Amino acid sequence: MRVNLTVNGEALKADDVWPGESLLYVLRERLGLPGAKNACEQGECGSCTVLLDGLTSCACLVAAGQAQGSAVVTVEGLSEGDALHPVQQAFIDAGAVQCGFCTPGLVVAVWDLLRATPHPSDPQIREALAGNLCRCTGYEKILEAVRLAAGRAT
């Protein structure tokens, strides 16, 4: 089957998609967008978080056919050309990027959080990121990155 999507503002299509194929697989393998990571394939880690029609979603849990006609934003779509999005830059500046596996999903989740709540409290940050697991940083650097990005947005 053919799946038509708008990905990061660009109309794209994927051909020969089989019915059980995930949106994550289509993004990474068929459309060449490796930002969202394939970690647990069960929606437990958040490494594959994307915005699907404006809502954060685990791309590993969405069948590609369910996304037909949808708008998808991946971590690649947050930057403008070579300029990193302020959330992406804050992760670098705060030292929140370790192995980098969880970072794309965290960045998308933080972008979504700051869109809805420009100056979140620590409990709001923790709640927004509860579905994203990191095995390297211990989370304090991630919280620091969110605070930094929120502070730069003012």
Rama region for 49: left / alpha / beta (φ>0; ψ in -120 to 50; rest): beta
Instruction: Give the C-alpha distances (Å, rounded to integers) separating 39 from 42, 47, 60.
Output: 9, 6, 9
CA neighbours closer than 13 Å in the CB half-sphere of residue 4: 2
Whole-number pLDDT of residue 137: 74
What is the pTM for the complete model shown?
Answer: 0.94
Do β-strands 49-52 and 3-7 pair in parallel, antiparallel, or remain unpaired? unpaired
User: pLDDT tens digits for 20-31?
Assistant: 899 999 999 999
